[in-house]
Chain A
Amino acid sequence: MLASSVQRSKPTPRPSQARNALIRRTVVVVLVLLALTLVTISFRSPTAGALHDMQGAGSTVLRPFQVAATRVAQPFRDAYDYVDSLANARAENKKLKRQNADLRTSALIAAAKLAKYPDYKKLLQLEQGQTFPADFRAINVGVISFPSGPFTHTLTIARGSTSGIRKSSPVVSGGGLVGIVSNVFPHTAIVTLINAPNNFVAARDLHTRVRGGIEPSPAGGGTLILSEVAKQQRVEEGDAIVTDGTHNARYRDLYPYGIPIGRVSSVGVTDTATFLQVQVQPFANLGSLDAVGVLVPKKQNR
């Protein structure tokens, strides 16, 4: 019984419904046609005609109402404008602060780049100078970390193996020899300075042609010594010391010939010592390097 469907009787339309629908449709059609007529007339003669005059008169009639509405709304509009301008001022303030921070950052970056400019300029001069080894090219690179104390003799440069830098590549600055690449990563490399302990660079006096080895001074202080120079040989104060380059085809020197190292600051001799005590002041300011050049051979098979 409950499952059986019950046929609901079809609702009989009220007699007024059909009439209402007709009236409704008639009204809307008439209004739409009237609107279209008004649009057509207004569009065809926008500056003259009866409709234009009526519109002008209507506008004149409506004007006081519009003025009244505007005046009534004026305090609210003022309040809105005040809040809006306040919000805009805050937004503008925030925007200007952001711009200021960006400009400050840009200025700092520019200043940092400018600070490295002299080093790059010296590097360029070195690269274009006659003492620059002909078989090498320089990869100029910024220094991103410096020796952090007296016991650290390395610095980090901002390029690595992806730029062609290899381990044991000589590193120079505009002044002269800085050190050697001791470790390479894809985008950075570690440079061991020439004043690091156990470092040895074959060198020669450019003036007297005397050979020796550059080592860190036992006294420290960033000075170097030219070791293994026999007493009978002549080294004079003020002589320029440069890398000696290789003279052995089997054991190639890591440093090509002619890279400036430093200048002889003092020459001493004692009766008991076998060698001269030659102190060398490095040309490169190893304490404040902003940019260095890594020397890589032009021929890759070297």
Chain B
Amino acid sequence: MTLVDGVKAAALLFVAAIAQVSVFSQLHVFGAVPDVLLVSLVAIALLRGSIAGAVGGFLAGLVVDTATLGTMGLTSLVLTVSGYWIGRYGETTGRDRAHAPFLSIAVVTVLYEVGLLVVHFVLGESAPAGAVVRSLVPAIVLNLIFTAPLYALVRRLLRSGEREELTAEVQLLG
């Protein structure tokens, strides 16, 4: 991952985090909220690997926790793990598969929601498991709706770096 790619990804995650806390967090559909930050992070992690996913998740979580004045590090913790896992999936099997972004979003939405629930529960804060479970399916659907355009945007944004990365992996034989 080049420096330019890193800057682009960071800018994208920053915008997504601000949009998430300012705009999308108020968009309640069937009790769920679309998470464009998570979708953007998954797209970056799939395209740029686990380290980019983990670092991006950590920084984006910091932005969210700072903007919302929540418990610092809480969102970072969950997003870091999510970004790392999806990045590993992308590195190993998922990167070139068409269904990878959608599958990743469906899985990571559940893991993210459950992870947040567990962390809140461990900290002794309000952890409404019933509400989280009820909103899981709408949340997955909403995130899946945003997956295709955001994945396409991220792919387009990081295209130059992708070419360089692909070229770098070619091995000369003989």
Contacts and interface: CB of A to CB of B under 8 A. Distances in A.
Interface of A: 23-24, 27-28, 31-32, 34-43, 46, 51, 55-56, 58-59, 62, 65-67, 69-70, 73, 77, 80
B73 A37 contact: yes
Contacts of A34: 58, 73, 76
Nearest to B71: A42
Nearest to B122: A39
Contacts of B66: 55, 58-59, 62
Given A69-B19, A73-B23, A42 B69 contact: no
A77 to B, nearest CB: 7
A122 B99 CA distance: 78
A36 B19 contact: no
Most buried by A among B19, B62, B72, B84: B72
B100 interface: no
Contact of A32 (B18, B67, B80): B80
A31 B57 CA distance: 10
B58 A31 contact: yes
Interface stretch (B48-56, B128-136, B141-149, B151-159): B48-56
B80 A62 contact: no
B77 A23 contact: no
A62 B63 contact: yes
Contacts of A28: 50-51, 54, 80-81, 84
Contact of A24 (B50, B58, B63, B73): B50
A23 B55 CA distance: 12
Contacts of B54: 27-28, 31
B84 A38 contact: no
Main secondary structure of the interface of A (DSSP, over half): helix
Contacts of A58: 62, 66-67
B137 interface: no
26 contacts: A24-B51, A27-B54, A28-B50, A31-B54, A31-B80, A32-B77, A32-B80, A34-B58, A35-B58, A35-B61, A35-B74, A35-B76, A35-B77, A35-B80, A41-B72, A42-B74, A43-B123, A51-B72, A55-B66, A59-B69, A62-B67, A67-B22, A69-B23, A70-B22, A73-B22, A80-B27
Nearest to B19: A69
Nearest to A51: B72
B162 interface: no
Contacts of A36: 73, 77
A55 B22 contact: no
Which 10 interchain pairs have the tightest Cβ spacing? Answer: A38-B73, A35-B77, A58-B66, A42-B72, A69-B22, A39-B73, A73-B23, A35-B73, A35-B76, A66-B22
Contact of B51 (A27, A39, A43): A27
A38 B57 CA distance: 15
Nearest to A63: B67
Contacts of B26: 77
B87 to A, nearest CB: 8
Contacts of A39: 71-74, 77, 119, 123
B65 interface: yes
Contacts of A23: 51
Looking at A24, A31, A32, A56, the one whose CB has the most chain B CB atoms below 10 A away is: A31
B21 interface: yes
Given A38-B72, A46-B71, A31 B23 contact: no
A58 B76 CA distance: 15
Contacts of B23: 69-70, 73, 77
A31 B71 contact: no
Contacts of A69: 18-19, 22-23
A66 B51 CA distance: 28
A42 B73 contact: yes
Interface in B58-96: 58, 61-63, 65-67, 69, 71-74, 76-77, 80-81, 84
